[in-house]
Amino acid sequence: LSFRSYLLTALTSCLFWNIFGLSAAMDSKPNIILFLADDLGIGDIGCYGNNTLRTPNIDRLAREGVKLTQHIAAAPLCTPSRAAFLTGRYPIRSGMASSNRYRALQWNAGSGGLPANETTFAKLLQQQGYTTGLIGKWHQGVNCESFSDHCHHPLSHGFDYFYGMPFTLLNNCQEDKPPELDVALQAKLWLYSQIIILAVLTLSAGNLSGLISIRWKIIVCFTLVGSLFFISWYSSYGFVQYWNCILMRNRDITEQPMKLERTASFMLKEAASFIKRNRHGPFLLFVSFLHVHTPLFTTVKFQGKSHHGLYGDNVEEMDWMVGKILDSLDKEGLKNRTFTYFASDHGGHLEAQDGSAQLGGWNGIYKGGKGMGGWEGGIRVPGVFTWPGVLPAGVVIDEPTSLMDIYPTVVHLAGGILPQDRVIDGRNLVPLLQGRVQKSEHEFLFHYCGSYLHAVRWHQKDSGAIWKAHYVTPVFHPPGAGACYGKGVCPCFGEGVTHHDPPLLFDLSQDPSEAKPLTADTEPLFDTVIKKIARAVEEHRRTLVPVPEQLSLYNIMWKPWLQPCCGTFPLCWCDKEGDVTQSL
């Protein structure tokens, strides 16, 4: 009897302390680290099934925490996806969804960007006493009306500290790579310029030889117009490396153009320094990797070390960086007080190739990739969470979740209140991550390509089915290739897409690869499901309010008066980091 009493007392005590410890941990405000990769495919890391690339640090996060298998980006390209991540709202609500072919910001000197009236999670955490920092990629705009108003800058959106690229990596940032920015348009502009030059030379030669008679004044005017045309476009596209490939610390430019060989080491140093400075917390650190976007610049230490060429080398270097930042956390004794998250902004870039070499990611069993608003490969991404002692270890959750869910999740952890004057599309994941609920709060998820609705997902909770209806799909090139090779990314509208009426329907719980569309003949619930989704689309569209389009042609064009410059424009060059390359 005494043994039973002892055992009961011990169990009661253990249960009490577990509950008390969990409650105490939840009551305190955790530090928060958000890792977001750029263009990483869900099939590129070990914990999601890749056994040929080495990603031990990301895999460790999955073992020690919770892994989501149906984690969905709100857009298949970086600018709109990151806008949704930061605001918890579909990008069409903030004007960050495009109705033209330019679906991401093109220049640091554009006037478009995340609007000032959008409230990021960083701003809400600031209000809860958090020190907030962003290390890495921004790609949400810089200026509105002058080169120094910084209306779209991270510091104007709730971040206390920023070190990184206000733009995104491009091939143009590396001198030995072919240009990547608007290649098709540049080719046309070069052709028009050459035609003008040829016309001037022909007219001049004809006039000199007497074959034609035309006043020299006309030829001179034609030459001046042609020169102005050339200068107007070459002044932007001819100097992309100087205009777009820059590093900033807060509002100051530190490198213009940036030196890629030392960027990774600088980012690590900045992340470690931020953690150390704010070790007494609470802090929010958003580590927005430049990896694994082209040009895939990889330090010598990792070159040639993977089984998948330069892309694999870049993935493994990024994983190593994750490990070094986690080491900094451990060094300060903060591991058990920190909520950590790892994801990618969208799927891998299938069309990124150099000859036969693949320069983009692998999306596992999922069809499509970057730029494709409906197909799973463009929007299904890794999602891993850890918080020792609060979140369970080694748990896998198959429920539909979204990158937009990070917004209400971190606001809840910080003790904040969500904005009540706008629609927040994300849902707090804490109950799901802790196992206190078994079902995601999402019933419908809407999959946009730019401002065009391409597909809708319905989580039928009573049956466990995950229905997905495709209204629009891209036309693959060449046919059956699974991507739009030769086009950069697949288009959202026009001749490059196919409209489906009735929509293509899949049950992702049975067919996650979207290989076998269902029909009224093969699926008894076909008509019911299509009608249910159509009603959800109508209700969703009633919640949309017209807003200025931040990615309009005017907003995305290069404007010299908005160009961030660390010298006297146009002589923009500086290296405030010094000439000594930091070794890894």
- Please report, in tens digits, the pLDDT of each residue of the chain (584 residues total): 454 554 445 444 444 434 444 444 555 899 999 999 999 999 999 999 999 999 999 999 999 999 999 999 999 999 999 999 999 999 999 999 999 999 999 999 999 999 999 999 999 999 999 999 999 999 999 999 999 999 999 999 999 999 999 999 999 999 888 888 888 888 899 999 999 999 999 989 988 888 888 888 888 998 999 999 999 899 999 999 999 999 999 999 999 999 999 999 999 999 999 999 999 989 999 999 999 999 999 999 999 999 999 999 999 999 999 999 999 999 999 999 999 999 999 999 999 998 888 999 999 999 999 999 999 999 999 999 999 999 999 999 999 999 999 999 999 999 999 999 999 999 999 999 999 999 999 999 999 999 999 999 999 988 889 999 999 999 999 998 999 998 899 999 999 999 999 999 999 999 999 999 999 999 999 999 999 999 999 999 999 999 999 999 999 999 999 999 998 899 999 999 874 444 34
Q: From 455, 459, 488, select the one nearest 472 (Cα to Cα).
A: 455
* CA gap 35, 14 in Å, rounded: 34
**309 contacts 58 by C-beta, under 8 angstroms:** no
DSSP state at residue 308: S
Three-state DSSP class for residue 528:
helix
- Which pLDDT score is estimated for 4? 52
The b/e string for 548-572 (b: 16+ C-beta within 10 A; e otherwise) is ebbbbeebbebbeebbbbbeeeeeb
In angstroms, the CA 226 to CA 197 distance is 8
370 close to 348: Cβ distance less than 8 angstroms: yes
Q: In whole angstroms, what is the distance from residue 64 CA to residue 57 CA?
A: 11
User: Which burial class, exposed, middle or buried, applies to 265 when counting CB atoms under 10 A from its CB (0-12, 13-18, 19+)?
Assistant: middle
pTM: 0.93
Instruction: Give the three-class secondary structure for 268.
Output: helix
Distance CA 53, CA 45 (A): 7
Q: Which helix (H) or strand (E) holds 385?
A: strand 380-386
Residue with tokens 């930091």: 582
Find out whether 29 and 387 touch, Cβ atoms under 8 Å.
no
Burial of 475 (0-12, 13-18, 19+ CB in 10 A): middle
Supply 196's token pair. 């003008």
All residues at 6 or more sequence positions from 97 whose CB lies less than 8 Å from its CB, including other chains: 75, 80, 90, 91, 103, 448, 450, 451, 549, 551
Can you give the pLDDT at residue 577? Answer: 87
Which parts of 406-499 fold into alpha helices (H)?
406-413, 430-434
**pLDDT at 184 (0 to 100):** 85
Cα dist. 352→166, 256, 370, 389 in Å? 23, 26, 10, 41
pLDDT of res. 25: 52
Note whether 556 and 106 are within 8 A (CB): yes
**In whole angstroms, what is the distance from residue 254 CA to residue 555 CA?**
26
Predicted local confidence at residue 15, as pLDDT? 43
35, 326 contact by CB (below 8 A):
no
Q: Rounded to whole angstroms, how far apart are CA atoms 573 and 442?
A: 48
Q: Which DSSP state fits 580?
A: P
Distance between CA 530 and CA 405 in Å, rounded? 26
DSSP state of 337: G
Distance CA 199, CA 72 (A): 53
The residues annotated with a catalytic role in the active site are 78, 139
Q: CA 542, 544, 545 angle in degrees (round to 5)? A: 115
pLDDT of residue 27: 59
Q: Residues 412, 128: contact at Cβ < 8 Å?
A: no
